Protein backbone atom coordinates (compact mmCIF):
# COMPACT_ATOMS: atom_id res chain seq x y z
CA UNK A 1 0.00 0.00 0.00
CA UNK A 2 0.97 3.65 -0.40
CA UNK A 3 0.57 6.29 2.28
CA UNK A 4 1.30 9.98 2.57
CA UNK A 5 2.66 11.06 5.94
CA UNK A 6 2.18 14.58 7.26
CA UNK A 7 4.64 14.68 10.16
CA UNK A 8 5.47 17.41 12.67
CA UNK A 9 9.19 18.27 12.48
CA UNK A 10 10.84 20.40 15.15
CA UNK A 11 14.60 20.63 15.67
CA UNK A 12 14.43 21.22 19.42
CA UNK A 13 12.29 22.72 22.17
CA UNK A 14 13.15 26.30 21.20
CA UNK A 15 12.79 25.92 17.42
CA UNK A 16 9.62 26.68 15.51
CA UNK A 17 8.17 23.45 14.16
CA UNK A 18 6.24 22.72 10.99
CA UNK A 19 4.61 19.86 9.13
CA UNK A 20 6.55 18.06 6.42
CA UNK A 21 5.02 15.58 4.00
CA UNK A 22 6.54 12.27 2.93
CA UNK A 23 5.30 9.64 0.48
CA UNK A 24 5.91 6.01 1.33
CA UNK A 25 5.39 3.11 -1.11
CA UNK A 26 5.31 -0.65 -0.55
CA UNK A 27 4.04 -0.40 3.01
CA UNK A 28 2.94 -3.82 4.24
CA UNK A 29 -0.45 -4.00 5.94
CA UNK A 30 1.21 -6.27 8.51
CA UNK A 31 3.59 -3.52 9.65
CA UNK A 32 2.93 -1.95 13.01
CA UNK A 33 2.74 1.84 13.01
CA UNK A 34 6.22 2.07 14.52
CA UNK A 35 7.61 -0.36 11.95
CA UNK A 36 6.20 1.91 9.29
CA UNK A 37 8.05 4.86 10.86
CA UNK A 38 11.22 2.73 10.97
CA UNK A 39 10.73 2.07 7.26
CA UNK A 40 10.34 5.80 6.61
CA UNK A 41 13.49 6.58 8.59
CA UNK A 42 15.44 3.95 6.70
CA UNK A 43 14.39 5.64 3.47
CA UNK A 44 15.29 9.11 4.79
CA UNK A 45 18.73 7.94 5.95
CA UNK A 46 19.36 6.36 2.55
CA UNK A 47 18.51 9.72 0.96
CA UNK A 48 20.90 11.51 3.33
CA UNK A 49 18.09 13.23 5.22
CA UNK A 50 17.44 13.63 8.95
CA UNK A 51 15.29 10.76 10.31
CA UNK A 52 12.14 11.49 12.30
CA UNK A 53 12.73 11.37 16.06
CA UNK A 54 10.09 9.50 18.03
CA UNK A 55 10.08 7.58 21.28
CA UNK A 56 9.66 3.83 21.71
CA UNK A 57 10.84 0.98 23.90
CA UNK A 58 8.89 -2.21 24.61
CA UNK A 59 6.64 -2.18 21.51
CA UNK A 60 4.24 -4.38 23.49
CA UNK A 61 1.80 -1.79 24.87
CA UNK A 62 3.49 -1.79 28.29
CA UNK A 63 5.94 1.11 28.63
CA UNK A 64 3.84 4.01 27.29
CA UNK A 65 6.75 5.60 25.41
CA UNK A 66 5.26 5.37 21.93
CA UNK A 67 2.43 7.87 22.35
CA UNK A 68 1.72 9.85 19.16
CA UNK A 69 -1.20 12.00 18.01
CA UNK A 70 -2.43 10.21 14.88
CA UNK A 71 -5.14 11.75 12.70
CA UNK A 72 -6.35 13.88 15.59
CA UNK A 73 -6.45 11.18 18.28
CA UNK A 74 -3.92 9.99 20.86
CA UNK A 75 -2.55 6.60 19.74
CA UNK A 76 -4.75 6.61 16.63
CA UNK A 77 -8.28 5.57 15.73
CA UNK A 78 -8.62 2.34 17.73
CA UNK A 79 -9.76 2.29 21.35
CA UNK A 80 -7.65 0.63 24.06
CA UNK A 81 -4.67 0.47 21.70
CA UNK A 82 -1.21 1.99 22.04
CA UNK A 83 0.62 3.37 19.00
CA UNK A 84 2.92 0.35 18.91
CA UNK A 85 -0.12 -1.96 18.82
CA UNK A 86 -1.66 -0.10 15.88
CA UNK A 87 -1.17 -1.79 12.49
CA UNK A 88 -1.16 -0.36 9.00
CA UNK A 89 -4.08 -2.58 7.99
CA UNK A 90 -6.25 -0.04 9.84
CA UNK A 91 -5.45 2.59 7.18
CA UNK A 92 -6.58 2.87 3.56
CA UNK A 93 -4.29 2.64 0.57
CA UNK A 94 -3.35 6.17 -0.45
CA UNK A 95 -4.50 7.71 2.84
CA UNK A 96 -2.84 10.81 4.27
CA UNK A 97 -1.85 10.24 7.91
CA UNK A 98 -1.17 13.23 10.15
CA UNK A 99 1.29 12.52 12.98
CA UNK A 100 1.95 14.97 15.83
CA UNK A 101 3.51 14.95 19.28
CA UNK A 102 1.43 15.39 22.44
CA UNK A 103 0.27 19.01 22.69
CA UNK A 104 0.58 20.17 26.31
CA UNK A 105 2.67 22.85 27.99
CA UNK A 106 3.66 20.32 30.64
CA UNK A 107 4.97 17.97 27.92
CA UNK A 108 7.37 20.23 25.94
CA UNK A 109 8.65 18.92 22.61
CA UNK A 110 12.23 17.63 22.70
CA UNK A 111 12.50 16.96 18.98
CA UNK A 112 10.00 16.12 16.23
CA UNK A 113 7.53 13.67 17.82
CA UNK A 114 9.34 13.26 21.15
CA UNK A 115 8.08 15.08 24.25
CA UNK A 116 9.49 15.41 27.75
CA UNK A 117 7.21 13.52 30.14
CA UNK A 118 9.22 13.70 33.33
CA UNK A 119 6.39 15.78 34.82
CA UNK A 120 4.71 12.44 35.56
CA UNK A 121 7.86 11.27 37.35
CA UNK A 122 7.84 14.41 39.48
CA UNK A 123 4.22 13.79 40.46
CA UNK A 124 5.09 10.25 41.50
CA UNK A 125 8.10 11.46 43.46
CA UNK A 126 5.85 13.90 45.30
CA UNK A 127 3.64 11.19 46.78
CA UNK A 128 3.07 8.15 44.57
CA UNK A 129 4.68 5.65 46.91
CA UNK A 130 4.33 3.91 50.28
CA UNK A 131 6.89 3.63 53.06
CA UNK A 132 7.31 0.06 54.31
CA UNK A 133 9.87 -2.08 56.04
CA UNK A 134 11.57 -3.76 53.11
CA UNK A 135 12.85 -6.66 55.21
CA UNK A 136 11.33 -10.12 55.17
CA UNK A 137 8.16 -10.26 53.09
CA UNK A 138 4.90 -10.96 54.88
CA UNK A 139 2.84 -13.99 54.05
CA UNK A 140 0.46 -13.27 51.18
CA UNK A 141 -2.58 -13.97 53.37
CA UNK A 142 -1.43 -11.92 56.38
CA UNK A 143 -3.18 -8.77 55.20
CA UNK A 144 -6.64 -9.62 53.83
CA UNK A 145 -7.85 -7.53 50.88
CA UNK A 146 -11.33 -7.84 49.41
CA UNK A 147 -11.65 -9.17 45.87
CA UNK A 148 -13.50 -6.01 44.80
CA UNK A 149 -10.71 -3.73 46.06
CA UNK A 150 -7.99 -5.94 44.64
CA UNK A 151 -9.57 -6.00 41.18
CA UNK A 152 -10.14 -2.24 41.13
CA UNK A 153 -6.60 -1.55 42.33
CA UNK A 154 -5.12 -3.76 39.64
CA UNK A 155 -7.26 -2.03 37.01
CA UNK A 156 -5.88 1.33 38.17
CA UNK A 157 -2.35 -0.07 38.21
CA UNK A 158 -2.63 -0.89 34.51
CA UNK A 159 -1.92 2.81 33.78
CA UNK A 160 1.30 2.98 31.73
CA UNK A 161 1.84 6.72 32.10
CA UNK A 162 1.79 7.34 28.36
CA UNK A 163 0.14 10.76 28.70
CA UNK A 164 -2.75 10.13 26.30
CA UNK A 165 -5.15 11.43 28.95
CA UNK A 166 -3.28 14.74 29.07
CA UNK A 167 -3.08 14.95 25.27
CA UNK A 168 -6.81 14.27 24.89
CA UNK A 169 -7.96 16.74 27.55
CA UNK A 170 -8.83 20.26 26.40
CA UNK A 171 -7.24 21.53 29.64
CA UNK A 172 -4.25 19.16 29.53
CA UNK A 173 -5.29 17.75 32.89
CA UNK A 174 -3.37 14.92 34.54
CA UNK A 175 -6.28 13.96 36.80
CA UNK A 176 -6.82 10.48 35.34
CA UNK A 177 -3.13 9.64 35.71
CA UNK A 178 -3.02 10.84 39.33
CA UNK A 179 -6.34 9.20 40.13
CA UNK A 180 -5.13 5.85 38.84
CA UNK A 181 -1.94 6.07 40.89
CA UNK A 182 -3.84 7.15 44.02
CA UNK A 183 -6.37 4.34 43.60
CA UNK A 184 -3.82 1.59 43.20
CA UNK A 185 -2.34 2.57 46.58
CA UNK A 186 -5.35 3.75 48.57
CA UNK A 187 -7.35 0.56 47.97
CA UNK A 188 -4.77 -1.52 49.84
CA UNK A 189 -4.10 -1.40 53.62
CA UNK A 190 -0.42 -0.62 52.97
CA UNK A 191 -1.39 2.65 51.30
CA UNK A 192 -3.68 3.97 54.04
CA UNK A 193 -0.97 5.38 56.32
CA UNK A 194 0.19 8.10 53.93
CA UNK A 195 -3.11 8.50 52.07
CA UNK A 196 -3.90 12.06 53.17
CA UNK A 197 -0.44 13.46 52.53
CA UNK A 198 -0.14 11.54 49.25
CA UNK A 199 -3.20 12.97 47.56
CA UNK A 200 -2.44 16.55 48.64
CA UNK A 201 1.18 16.39 47.50
CA UNK A 202 0.36 14.81 44.14
CA UNK A 203 -2.42 17.29 43.32
CA UNK A 204 -0.26 20.22 44.44
CA UNK A 205 2.59 19.02 42.24
CA UNK A 206 0.20 18.63 39.29
CA UNK A 207 -0.87 22.26 39.70
CA UNK A 208 2.73 23.42 40.11
CA UNK A 209 3.76 21.71 36.86
CA UNK A 210 1.08 23.48 34.83
CA UNK A 211 -1.46 20.75 34.20
CA UNK A 212 -5.03 21.97 33.80
CA UNK A 213 -8.15 21.13 35.77
CA UNK A 214 -10.66 18.36 35.06
CA UNK A 215 -14.00 19.31 33.50
CA UNK A 216 -15.46 15.77 33.27
CA UNK A 217 -15.68 15.66 29.48
CA UNK A 218 -14.34 12.05 29.70
CA UNK A 219 -11.98 12.49 26.76
CA UNK A 220 -9.22 11.01 28.95
CA UNK A 221 -11.25 7.85 29.57
CA UNK A 222 -12.15 7.54 25.88
CA UNK A 223 -8.53 7.78 24.73
CA UNK A 224 -6.81 5.84 27.52
CA UNK A 225 -5.17 2.78 25.89
CA UNK A 226 -5.84 0.77 29.06
CA UNK A 227 -9.47 1.85 29.44
CA UNK A 228 -9.05 3.33 32.91
CA UNK A 229 -12.35 4.66 34.24
CA UNK A 230 -12.91 8.23 35.44
CA UNK A 231 -14.52 6.67 38.53
CA UNK A 232 -10.97 6.81 39.89
CA UNK A 233 -11.14 10.61 39.57
CA UNK A 234 -14.21 10.54 41.82
CA UNK A 235 -12.18 8.63 44.41
CA UNK A 236 -9.31 11.09 44.05
CA UNK A 237 -11.68 14.01 44.65
CA UNK A 238 -13.17 12.35 47.73
CA UNK A 239 -9.74 11.63 49.17
CA UNK A 240 -8.51 15.14 48.43
CA UNK A 241 -11.53 16.82 50.08
CA UNK A 242 -11.27 14.51 53.10
CA UNK A 243 -7.56 15.28 53.46
CA UNK A 244 -8.20 19.04 53.28
CA UNK A 245 -11.04 18.95 55.81
CA UNK A 246 -8.98 16.95 58.29
CA UNK A 247 -6.09 19.47 58.23
Structural domain boundaries in the chain: 3-111, 118-245
Which CATH superfamily is 3-111 part of? Answer: Beta-grasp domain (3.10.20.30)
pLDDT at residue 136, rounded to an integer: 77
Query: Taking a C-beta distance cutoff of 8 angstroms, is the pair 207, 172 a contact?
Result: no
Neighbours of 153 (CB within 10 A): 18
User: What is the value of pTM for the model shown?
Assistant: 0.93
- pLDDT > 80? residue 132: no
DSSP 150: H
For range 79-92, the mean pLDDT:
97
Residue 19 has pLDDT above 90, yes or no: yes
**pLDDT at residue 235, rounded to an integer:** 94
Q: Which helix (H) or strand (E) is 233 found in, with range?
A: helix 231-245
Same topology between domain 3-111 and domain 118-245 = no
pLDDT of residue 142: 79
How confident is the model over 188-202, as a mean pLDDT?
A: 92
Question: Which one is the CATH code of 118-245: 3.90.1150.10, 3.30.70.20, 1.10.1060.10, 1.10.3720.10?
Answer: 1.10.1060.10
Amino acid sequence: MKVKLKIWRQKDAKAKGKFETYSLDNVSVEMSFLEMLDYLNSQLITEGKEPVAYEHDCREGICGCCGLYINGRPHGLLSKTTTCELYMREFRDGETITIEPWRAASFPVIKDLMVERNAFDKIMQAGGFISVNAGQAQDANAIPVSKVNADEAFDAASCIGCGACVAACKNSSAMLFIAAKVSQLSLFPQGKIEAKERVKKMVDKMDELGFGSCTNTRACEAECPKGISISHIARLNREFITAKISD
